């Protein structure tokens, strides 16, 4: 008998009556609350438990299918995930949003208030973690069996508050209100070794084998969060590992009265998964981070081996059971760990194990920034992972022999390709390990993939051109359109039918409506309503009053010099100075909205946030400005806040220096919600512009090759400063101390620009201002702007993460996805 599928039981019934009864049962029986005393948070937990029953019932059936059919499954290895709030997403995917609204409405509870209670798991820094979550959503939607493996950080990305204009970090206590979405799998625990030494021994077939004798063993326990797909019975699983001590504590030490030492090991073990590392301005070889990476990767690979055995597969055909994607180099140690598991623990021959390893792994690169490339001092690496260092030497030895054959007498090339960097101090290069151990290597946008082959991975591209591919990123339209923008979703449903979130190619059918005045009016009304809601939220969070009919000019993303939030500020201040010079200057009313976290140790990024808030302090109150300019720093940009911001953006700022932003995904989210983009030819901007049409995109700035040429010729920011009086006036104004009440506050920013300007703001300043001028002009023609906005949405269907995932399935993982309708 099938124990879980009947849809008419209280637990999994989908009528409003069923849902209400299950909700009330959970309130009383699971939470111990009588309805009259329940708080909004109790309502949230009771509803989450109700929906969880539906989700888990699907998840276990979906999982069973994978085991029975022995399909090749996808393991997405990622040190970061940013799923966002789950509840509303599940309601949409399960098709029970309306019934739930009715169920709660009938007992006087507002569903939106309940949804607002959910705190999101901030288990990532930004784009990379969010992409991983979009991909789990799409994998489930296109009906591919998958597990996203990662770390269950107790403390995720810090909470950001703004105090006196400065970023102040707070501890992210995402688990403090309880987490109804995860299931602690008590039966699924893995032992992970660290330190110690290796020994050789002879097995009963007379073969020399290696044994790793660790100095410490840590336990990883699995916490599963099911991820539903849209209109699909398949669920992805996000399986996160929490570190625990193998023993509670050291009884021997305890009995000898050494209490400190008795608990020391337990504390150390538990610390491993405590906290997410923020992207600093530099990759620092921190031991704990290396341990985190090995910890989750080893747990994941051991778990995959367990599942191979469970579904009757063979270890010697591991790659037929699993396609393993390395989300950046964070899990690249998996290449050596799979070798160790196959050779040392499952007694495979080296060459067989290596063939399996290469067929199993593929690697996605997410940045060209040299300072972000991961490398570990050989000493440190060897002390944490002595056996893996030996294995890496073994891989390297064979690999360099292969290189010598392909390129005889080319020592410089050998040195560049080697897994060990030997210029000065010796390092293990994780990108090289990932490349050697994978059968496919991809970048995340067309331009990025090309630049990868020309720059950081050029030697690998010369050696193995066939390994290289591009998969342009995508975003899930369920969360970022259907949920975030219900007004737009209503229009899309009316025009395209209810299934549109499952097939974004249908957006094309909106094109003719761009010329329809009635539709344009409805479009504007939806957008204005979104902006009113955001204006209310801005006032609630910052106290700043903004005008919903002004142009909402939005830059939300991590704060980094290469993303050039300070270029945006140079524009704002130049407008301010124009108004001060001539109070009647024709400046269209704009609300500049900034948001994003700065790494706690990134000095300049923090100054840039202060420059935003100081500009706001100056501009927002000035009577000469008369409300035409408002500058807002929206605190604590995260997935939940993003869902309120994206649908209210008129203008999407994607102004990174060309060649620096691997892809960007906020660019896609805003354009899919009807924003026009002002941007450089960087990352996926290039493809967005191709898709929406050059006439619907505000392009400016140097191209990536112009950037290289300018840098090669010896870039002199001073020449731009001297030749452009508005630029000079703007920079001088910042340098004058007029902002923020302290004359030295922004000296470091000014000095950085005048003496170096590593991201060429001064070179792009004039072109940026000209493009902003064109923005202002088009905004003045509301019909033309609206048409352009409609066409942006109509032509963005390609940027659904379903399309990206289908490409991975076909070209990289060799698994079958449900075909798209078109
Ligand atoms: C890492 C680091 C580490 C230390 C130095 C400063 C720094 C700066 C950036 C990064 C980002 C590492 C990887 C990453 O998050 N890349 C982002 O991946 C997104 C998804 O593919 C993509 O859309 C973004 O363009 C890319 O920055």
Mean pLDDT of 161-180: 97
pLDDT at residue 251 in the model? 63
> pLDDT at residue 219 above 90?
yes
User: 274: which 2 tokens?
Assistant: 């405590």
pLDDT at residue 284 in the model? 82
> pLDDT at residue 627 above 90?
no
The Cα diameter of the chain in Å comes to 91
pLDDT at residue 22 in the model? 97
Cα-to-centroid distance, 289 and ligand 1 (Å): 17
Instruction: State if residue 475 touches ligand 1 by the CB under 6 angstroms criterion.
Output: no
- Predicted TM-score (pTM) of the model is 0.97
Mean pLDDT of 733-746: 95
Atom of ligand 1 nearest to the CA of 664: 23
pLDDT at residue 715 in the model? 98
pLDDT above 90: percentage of residues in the chain: 92
> pLDDT at residue 499 above 70?
yes
Atom of ligand 1 nearest to the CA of 328: 13
pLDDT above 70: percentage of residues in the chain: 98
Catalytic residues: 366, 557-558, 563, 665, 669
> pLDDT at residue 7 above 70?
no
> pLDDT at residue 266 above 60?
yes
Mean pLDDT of 227-240: 97
Instruction: State if residue 282 touches ligand 1 by the CB under 6 angstroms criterion.
Output: yes
Is residue 552 a contact partner of residue 643, using CB atoms and an 8 Å limit?
no
Nearest to 122 by CA among 149, 147, 153, 148: 153
Is residue 442 a contact partner of residue 470, using CB atoms and an 8 Å limit?
yes
Nearest to 669 by CA among 644, 690, 693: 644
Pocket test for ligand 1, best of 80, 125, 127, 445 (most atoms within 8 A of CB): 127
Question: Cα separations (Å) of 536 from 133, 533, 540, 544?
Answer: 29, 5, 6, 9
- Length of the chain (residues): 822
- Count of C-beta atoms within a 10 Å radius of residue 310: 9
Which residue has the least CA distance to atom 24 on ligand 1? 664
Pocket test for ligand 1, best of 367, 448, 451, 452 (most atoms within 8 A of CB): 367
Q: Is 183 helix (H, G, I), strand (E, B) or coil?
A: strand
Mean pLDDT of 18-44: 97
Q: Give 448-469 pLDDT, tens digit per residue.
A: 999 999 999 999 999 999 999 9
pLDDT at residue 63 in the model? 86
Q: From CA 334, how far away is CA 395, in angstroms rounded?
A: 13
Mean pLDDT of 250-278: 81
Q: Give 33-84 pLDDT, tens digit per residue.
A: 999 999 999 999 999 999 999 999 999 998 888 777 778 999 999 999 999 9
Cα-to-centroid distance, 127 and ligand 1 (Å): 7
Instruction: State if residue 444 touches ligand 1 by the CB under 6 angstroms criterion.
Output: yes
> pLDDT at residue 405 above 60?
yes
Cα-to-centroid distance, 510 and ligand 1 (Å): 34
Mean of pLDDT over the chain: 96
Mean pLDDT of 569-592: 97
pLDDT at residue 253 in the model? 66
> pLDDT tier at 3 (50, 70, 90 boundaries)?
very low
Nearest to 771 by CA among 627, 568, 561: 568
pLDDT at residue 6 in the model? 47
Least confident of 208-212, 260-264, 647-651, 676-680: 260-264
Nearest to 481 by CA among 639, 670, 724, 350: 670
> pLDDT at residue 2 above 50?
no
109-114 contact pairs (CB < 8 A, 24+): 109/43, 113/40, 113/43, 114/40, 114/43, 114/44, 114/47, 114/87
Which residue has the least CA distance to atom 15 on ligand 1? 128
Instruction: State if residue 328 touches ligand 1 by the CB under 6 angstroms criterion.
Output: yes
> pLDDT at residue 189 above 90?
yes
230-234-238-244 Cα dihedral, nearest 10 degrees:
150
pLDDT at residue 8 in the model? 52
449-450-456-461 Cα dihedral, nearest 10 degrees:
100
Instruction: State if residue 661 touches ligand 1 by the CB under 6 angstroms criterion.
Output: yes
Instruction: State if residue 557 touches ligand 1 by the CB under 6 angstroms criterion.
Output: no
**Do 73-85+120-370+430-472+809-813 and 546-794 share a fold?**
yes
Per-residue burial over 492-530, b if 16 or more Cβ lie within 10 Å, else e, is beeebeeebbbbbebbeebeebbeeeebbebbbebbebb
Q: What is the CATH number of domain 73-85+120-370+430-472+809-813?
A: 3.40.50.2000
Is residue 235 a contact partner of residue 63, using CB atoms and an 8 Å limit?
yes
pLDDT at residue 69 in the model? 75
How many CA atoms are closer than 13 Å to the CA of 705, on its beta-carbon side?
3
Q: Give 766-775 pLDDT, tens digit per residue.
A: 999 999 999 9
Pocket test for ligand 1, best of 78, 279, 445 (most atoms within 8 A of CB): 279
Instruction: State if residue 659 touches ligand 1 by the CB under 6 angstroms criterion.
Output: no
pLDDT at residue 264 in the model? 81
Instruction: State if residue 131 touches ligand 1 by the CB under 6 angstroms criterion.
Output: yes
Q: Give 340-363 pLDDT, tens digit per residue.
A: 999 999 999 999 999 999 999 999
Instruction: State if residue 372 touches ligand 1 by the CB under 6 angstroms criterion.
Output: yes
Mean pLDDT of 237-260: 80
Q: Say which residues have a Cβ less than 8 Å from residue 459's Cβ, sequence separation at least 6.
A: 413, 416, 417
Atom of ligand 1 nearest to the CA of 448: 25
Architecture of domain 546-794: 3-Layer(aba) Sandwich (3.40)
Phi–psi pair at 720, nearest 5 degrees = -70, -40
Atom of ligand 1 nearest to the CA of 364: 21
Q: Locate the domains of the chain by residue range.
A: 1-69+94-119, 73-85+120-370+430-472+809-813, 546-794
> pLDDT at residue 1 above 50?
no
Strands 146-151 and 159-163: unpaired
> pLDDT tier at 254 (50, 70, 90 boundaries)?
low
Mean pLDDT of 296-324: 97
């Amino acid at each position: 008998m099938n124990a879980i599928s009947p849809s008419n039981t209280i637990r999994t019934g989908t009528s409003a009556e069923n849902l209400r009864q299950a909700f009330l049962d959970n309130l009383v029986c699971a939470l111990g609350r009588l309805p009259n005393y329940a708080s909004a948070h109790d309502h949230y937990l009771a509803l989450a438990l109700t929906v969880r029953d539906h989700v888990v019932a699907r998840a276990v059936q979906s999982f069973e299918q994978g085991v029975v059919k022995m399909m090749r499954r996808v393991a997405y290895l990622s040190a970061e995930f940013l799923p966002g709030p789950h509840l509303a997403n599940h309601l949409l995917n399960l098709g029970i949003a309306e019934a739930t609204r009715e169920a709660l409405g009938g007992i006087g509870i507002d569903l939106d208030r309940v949804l607002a209670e959910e705190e999101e798991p901030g288990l990532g820094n930004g784009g990379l973690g969010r992409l991983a979550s979009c991909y789990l959503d799409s994998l489930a939607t296109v009906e591919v069996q998958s597990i996203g493996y990662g770390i269950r950080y107790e403390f995720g990305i810090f909470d950001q508050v703004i105090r006196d204009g400065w970023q102040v970090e707070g501890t992210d206590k995402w688990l403090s209100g309880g987490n109804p979405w995860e299931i602690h799998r008590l039966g699924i625990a893995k032992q992970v070794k660290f330190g110690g030494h290796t020994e050789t021994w002879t097995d009963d077939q007379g073969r020399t084998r290696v044994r790793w004798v660790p100095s410490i063993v840590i336990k990883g326990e699995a916490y599963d969060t099911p991820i539903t797909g849209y209109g699909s019975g398949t669920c992805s699983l996000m399986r996160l590992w929490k570190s625990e001590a193998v023993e509670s504590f050291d009884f021997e030490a305890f009995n000898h009265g050494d209490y400190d030492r008795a608990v020391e090991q337990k504390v150390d073990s538990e610390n491993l998964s405590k906290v997410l590392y923020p992207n600093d301005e530099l990759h620092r070889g921190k031991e704990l981070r290396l341990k985190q990476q090995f910890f989750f990767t080893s747990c994941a690979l051991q778990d995959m081996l367990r599942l191979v055995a469970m579904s009757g597969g063979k270890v010697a055909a591991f790659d037929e059971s699993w396609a393993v994607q390395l989300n950046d180099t964070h899990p690249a140690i998996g290449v050596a760990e799979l070798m160790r598991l196959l050779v040392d623990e499952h007694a495979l021959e080296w060459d067989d194990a290596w063939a399996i390893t290469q067929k199993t792994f593929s690697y996605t690169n997410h940045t060209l920034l040299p300072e972000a490339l991961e490398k570990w001092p050989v000493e440190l690496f060897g002390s944490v992972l002595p056996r893996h260092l030996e294995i890496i030497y073994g891989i390297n030895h064979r690999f360099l022999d292969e290189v010598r054959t392909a390129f005889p007498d080319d020592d410089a090339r050998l040195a560049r390709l080697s897994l060990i960097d030997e210029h000065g101090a010796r390092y293990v290069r994780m990108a090289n390990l990932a490349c050697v151990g994978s059968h496919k290597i991809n970048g995340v946008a067309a331009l990025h993939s090309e630049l990868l082959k020309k720059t950081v991975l050029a030697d690998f591209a010369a050696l193995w051109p066939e390994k290289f591919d591009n998969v342009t990123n995508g975003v899930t339209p369920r969360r970022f359109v259907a949920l975030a923008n219900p007004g737009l979703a209503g229009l899309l449903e009316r025009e395209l039918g209810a299934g549109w979130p499952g097939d974004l190619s249908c957006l094309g059918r909106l094109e003719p409506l761009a010329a329809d005045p009635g539709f344009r009016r409805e479009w504007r009304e939806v957008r204005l309503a979104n902006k009113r809601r955001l204006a209310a939220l801005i006032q609630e969070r910052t106290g700043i009053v903004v005008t919903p009919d002004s142009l909402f000019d939005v830059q939300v993303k991590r704060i980094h010099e290469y993303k050039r939030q300070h270029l945006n500020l140079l524009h704002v201040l130049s407008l301010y100075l124009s108004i001060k010079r001539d109070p009647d200057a024709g400046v269209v009313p704009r609300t500049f909205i900034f948001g994003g976290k700065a790494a706690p140790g990134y000095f300049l990024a923090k100054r840039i946030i202060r420059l935003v808030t100081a500009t706001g302090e100056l501009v927002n109150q000035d009577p000469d400005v008369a409300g035409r300019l408002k500058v807002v720093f929206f605190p604590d940009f995260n997935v939940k806040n993003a869902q309120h911001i994206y649908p209210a953006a008129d203008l999407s700022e994607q102004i990174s220096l060309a060649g620096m932003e691997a892809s960007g995904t906020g660019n896609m989210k805003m354009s899919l919600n009807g924003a026009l983009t002002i941007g450089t030819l960087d990352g996926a901007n290039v493809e967005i512009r191709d898709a929406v049409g050059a006439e619907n995109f505000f392009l400016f700035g140097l191209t990536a090759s112009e950037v290289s040429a300018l840098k090669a010729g010896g870039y002199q920011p001073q020449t731009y400063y001297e030749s452009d009086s508005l630029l000079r006036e703007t920079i001088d104004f910042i340098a004058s101390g007029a902002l923020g009440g302290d004359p030295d506050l922004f000296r470091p920013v000014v000095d950085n620009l005048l003496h170096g300007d590593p991201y060429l703001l001064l070179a792009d300043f004039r072109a940026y201002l000209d493009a902003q001028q064109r923005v202002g002009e088009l905004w003045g023609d509301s019909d033309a702007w609206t048409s352009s906005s409609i066409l942006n949405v109509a032509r963005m269907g390609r940027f659904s993460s379903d399309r990206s995932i289908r490409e991975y399935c076909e070209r990289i993982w060799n698994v079958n996805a449900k075909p798209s309708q078109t």
